[in-house]
Amino acid sequence: MALSETQRSILTAAAQHPHGLAEPPEKLPAAACAAVGKALLKTDLVIAVHRPDYEARALWTIDGDSMLLRITDEGLRAIGLDPAQPATGADTAPPAEAPQADPAPAAEAAQAAPLAEDLALLDEALATPLPARRVSLRDAAQRVLKAWDDEANQRYDLADAIEALRGILAKPGREARDPAAPRKPREGTKQQQVLALLRRPEGATVAQIAEATGWAPHTVRGFFAGLKKRQGIAVEVLERVRQVGPNKEGARGSYTIYKITG
């Protein structure tokens, strides 16, 4: 049976393990490890086992399940070892399994398709480059300082480090906002909702704004003050409506209408 270099390496290490456990390669991505494990299981080169005293680094995650994989007699034969002989360096060899007859050609043909699919997924995962880490201004500055301090190597990397820093500094950044210019409210926020109410021809009352936003009345009044202080937007009184009581004006129920004229 033809084995990939990754499969052969995993099986060879498993044959030397005290309990015959196959360990997932540390350098492979999770998707690639899962593809290799599934391929080994489908070809009966390993078998899923349970050990209470398992080693965490030997755990495989395949189709969302965590499991241990132990090399089988078929796996030993695939790397040229005799299952009847204990593996070199093994403290406790895995129990011998009954000799298995060579699979029929029809069975091998049935396994070839899914194995080829898994290996294709593995090749794709290994060929996919990892996303490049975005170098920040801080990273570039630290690289310059490190190169400057490296006097033993005559600051060999200093020129490249400075060039990288210049490249980052040359990138156009966001235009600085004029502190005196009013802030533009974000779309769909409560601030924009309040400004829309205040810009209506009929204006809005504190009660109307509180009902629309869910704010308390004192929060609405504080917002009015903040508009003037932070954004230079003045909220003016459009009208004061006095409810006439039995003996005096200004009874409960009076209200004020506010508006932004600018």
DSSP string, 127-158: HSPPPPPPPPHHHHHHHHHHHHH-TTTTTTTH
Summarize pLDDT for 145-197 with one digit per residue, the tens: 888 887 776 677 778 788 888 888 876 655 655 666 655 555 668 888 898 89
Q: How far apart are CA 233 and CA 261, in angstroms?
A: 9
CATH 1.10.10 fits 190-259, yes or no: yes
Helix (H, G, I), strand (E, B) or coil at 65: strand
Confidence class for position 100, pLDDT limits 50, 70, 90: low
* pLDDT for position 208: 92
As a residue count, the chain comes to 262
Question: Distances in Å between the alpha carbon of 20 and those of 28, 53, 99?
Answer: 21, 14, 17
* pLDDT for position 90: 46
* pLDDT for position 96: 46
Among 52-66, 93-107, 126-140, which is the least confidently predicted range? 93-107
Question: Distances in Å between the alpha carbon of 173 and those of 31, 67, 150, 165, 260?
Answer: 37, 50, 31, 14, 34
Summarize pLDDT for 69-85 with one digit per residue, the tens: 889 998 898 888 888 87
Rounded to 5 degrees, φ, ψ at 105 are -55, -35
* pLDDT for position 94: 46
Closest to 190 (Cα-Cα) out of 214, 226, 217:
214
Closest to 169 (Cα-Cα) out of 138, 129, 213:
138
pLDDT of 98 strictly over 70: no
pLDDT of 63 strictly over 70: yes
Residue type, 140: A
pLDDT of 105 strictly over 60: no
CB distance 105 to 56 below 8 Å: no
Give the rounded percent of residues in the chain with a pLDDT score beyond 70. 66
CA dihedral of residues 168, 172, 178, 183 (deg, nearest 10): -100
Confidence class for position 91, pLDDT limits 50, 70, 90: very low
The more confident residue out of 35 and 135 is 35
* pLDDT for position 170: 79
pLDDT of 93 strictly over 50: no
Give the rounded percent of residues in the chain with a pLDDT score beyond 90. 8
* pLDDT for position 102: 54
Confidence class for position 209, pLDDT limits 50, 70, 90: very high
CB distance 260 to 234 below 8 Å: yes
At what angle are helices 206-213 and 217-226 packed, to 10 degrees?
A: 100
Q: How far apart are CA 101 and CA 92, in angstroms?
A: 25
Residue 228 in tokens: 């003037």
The arithmetic mean of pLDDT across residues 49-72, rounded, is: 77
**Average model confidence (pLDDT) for the chain?**
76
* pLDDT for position 12: 92
* pLDDT for position 251: 55
Confidence class for position 258, pLDDT limits 50, 70, 90: very high
pTM over 0.85: no
Top-level class of domain 5-127: mainly alpha
Which residues, 6+ apart, have CB-to-CB distance to 200 below 8 Å?
Answer: 259
Confidence class for position 210, pLDDT limits 50, 70, 90: very high
Q: How far apart are CA 57 and CA 75, in angstroms?
A: 20
Q: Which residue has the tokens 């005290």?
A: 18
Q: Which residue has the tokens 């995650």?
A: 61
Q: How far apart are CA 161 and CA 163, in angstroms?
A: 5
